[in-house]
Structure 1
Amino acid sequence: MLNRVNRVALIGTGFVGSSYAFALLNQGGTEELVLIDINKQKSEGDAMDLNHGLPFAPSRTKIWFGDYSDCKDADLVVLTAGANQKPGETRLDLVEKNTAIFKEIVSEIMASGFDGIILVATNPVDILTYVVWKFSGLPKERVIGSGTILDTARFRFLLGEYFDVDTRNVHAYIIGEHGDTELPVWSNADIGVTSIAEWTKNKEGFNQADLEEIFLNVRDAAYHIIERKGATFYGIAMGLVRLTKAILQNENSIFTVSAYLDGEYDHEDIFIGVPCVVNRNGIRQVVELDLNKEEQEKFTHSVKVLKNTLEPILKNVES
């Protein structure tokens, strides 16, 4: 009887994809990793390069470049393919280009007989997660977008810096669109077991404007990084690896991923960044935060922006 091993199929070996593969290898996140890209030479070169690092890796990983037929036995497909965000572009500007790319990709994935979980990282991630769900026909629980996991990580990092505490002890969330209409949930933000509001009382020279500046730096971080180096990839790659391990190891961990709402937060028929329990079956449940009135209004605005963007796209998806 053969031992069952975890297989991850990575589609797209650009900046994000290759960074994800490198981080996954370094953390021993899966037993098998297949790299798939329209540029076969690039994916072959990445596989060769990664294999040469195996003697230094924490565990054995079989890595090769392949094609869509390798998705058949994959437990998880990670989608990082697509057009990149250029300086001056918003994530939503990419929607038509990447929807067309994804229609072809998802068709190939499902034709292989794939029946696992799809993790989407390409922008605009909320919109593309929705169209992947539509194109694939998979249950909504098994199509997950990276959502606001990176925004939440940036938020926690900056709050940790500001209050001089380990970022891993900061429990705060960014929800909504992974983009310009996202919002911080200050009403549910804690450090350790104490609310941010209590921490500010003991912060010497505290100014409420400091917290607003932190959020603005979170929201606009991608633009700042793109101006400096052309793309963001290390942070999201590490976030994707963390999600991968939570899925494959059945952790029941909570992440602010892009998930389908079916009445949660008083909204439905949209994929958007919210805290969710993630395990081997995908999204086990959406965690509903108790938002205050202002936060609920901002979240509703974010939903409306995404739905307005999605509406013309859906005509092509459903035709």
Structure 2
Amino acid sequence: MKVTVVGAGAVGATCADNIARKEIVDELVIVDIKEGVAEGKALDLTQTTSILGFDTSIIGSTNDYSKTAGTNVAVITSGIPRKPGMTREDLIGTNAGIVKDVASNILKYSPDAILVIISNPMDTMTYLALKSLGLNKNRIIGMGGALDSSRFKTYLSLASGVSQNDIQATVIGGHGDTTMIPLTRLATCQGINFSKLLSSEQLQKVAEDTMVGGATLTKLLGTSAWYAPGAAGMAVVESIIRDEKKIIPCSVYLDGEYGESDICIGVPVVLGKNGVEKIIELDLNEIEKEKFKASAQAVRNMNQVLFDMNVL
């Protein structure tokens, strides 16, 4: 099995590092447009194999996509990252062209590849890839929900003092500070609903912290986060490559599910060897349904920029 990670920046390199360490694939290719960067990081990672005890073959390439031939899953992290004061939406003009070009190059050499989109604004970049490439909807996956849900679990753990590994919690909706929906009502720890562990005020604070989780890190770091985004990308890849059938919230194309169509937005999905194998429709209450509807409209508004800019 073979995975390609396009973009050797902090997120891409971290994603590649996690994939290599877990020996998810036999061969891992890192591609970047900057001369020598992908080759350097591939060599650097390779030099950790005897220390960490893995045998994944890691190859770096400066914009030569022929080396990606035979890729099963490609992770696209390419694009400019957020800076303090920027929204994910501010990135659309630059990143749309990059994502479209990268995806086309991947499919030129690996026409059956499944694409995992990390580039921001993630829901819109996922929609762009799906609409511009004409692939089946199961093969285009945005990883935002996986990341947002991991942040949700972190804040639930910090507030309650229980292990993150015992927490089941899901974020749906758009991958944005005002569009994501942490489902506090459905969050549990070993089957115990968090309403038994935290007050309504505490749960509201957890939801608020989750929604600005990315912006908080951008303010602290001066750029976008990379450890958790890279790990989230790896988790999506692992479930596909190993056909694990894990349920992971991801941005996928809806065709009537949740009452929405012609949009890529975060919902729980079963990920296996075919990519998105099933969309899980949660039993939302009326408040959650209204939030999801508003989130979908916000994502649609952002998607409209693609048409306004003649990208689609």
TM tier, smaller = over 0.9
Cα distance in 2 for residues equivalent to 1:191 and 1:109: 40
Q: 2:20 aligns with which of 25, 40, 44?
A: 25
Q: Secondary structure at the match of 2:135?
A: coil
Q: Which amino acid aligns with 1:306?
A: V
Cα distance in 1 for residues equivalent to 2:206 and 2:165: 17
Is the Cα–Cα contact under 8 Å of residues 147 and 272 in structure 1 kept in the other structure? no
Q: 1:172 aligns with which of 158, 169, 172?
A: 169
**Equivalent in the alignment of 1:203:** none
**Equivalent in the alignment of 1:223:** 215
Q: Which amino acid aligns with 1:217?
A: D
Q: Secondary structure at the match of 1:148?
A: helix
Is the Cα–Cα contact under 8 Å of residues 129 and 258 in structure 1 kept in the other structure? yes
**Equivalent in the alignment of 1:210:** 202
Within a 5 Å distance, the mapping from 1:16-165 to structure 2 comes to 16-66=11-61, 67-165=64-162
String of CA shifts for 1:273-293, please: whole Å, max 9, x gaps: 110000010001110111111
Cα distance in 1 for residues equivalent to 2:233 and 2:84: 24
Cα distance in 1 for residues equivalent to 2:68 and 2:132: 16
Which structure has the larger Rg?
1
Q: Which amino acid aligns with 2:292?
A: F
Cα distance in 2 for residues equivalent to 1:243 and 1:103: 21
**Equivalent in the alignment of 1:3:** none
Q: Secondary structure at the match of 2:247?
A: strand
1:308 and 2:305 aligned: no
Shift of 1:272: 0.5
String of CA shifts for 1:182-233, please: whole Å, max 9, x gaps: 1121232222112222334xxxxx4x22211111111112112111212200
Shift of 1:311: 1.6
String of CA shifts for 1:256-309, please: whole Å, max 9, x gaps: 111111111000111101100000100011101111111110110000011111
String of CA shifts for 1:140-160, please: whole Å, max 9, x gaps: 101100022111111111112
**Equivalent in the alignment of 2:187:** 189
Cα distance in 2 for residues equivalent to 1:58 and 1:239: 22
Structure 1 residues 260 and 111: alpha-carbon distance in aligned structure 2, compared to 1, 3 A threshold: same
Shift of 1:8: 0.6
Structure 1 residues 240 and 58: alpha-carbon distance in aligned structure 2, compared to 1, 3 A threshold: farther
Cα distance in 2 for residues equivalent to 1:113 and 1:247: 16
Matched-pair identity in %: 33
Shift of 1:113: 4.1
TM-score norm. by structure 1 comes to: 0.92
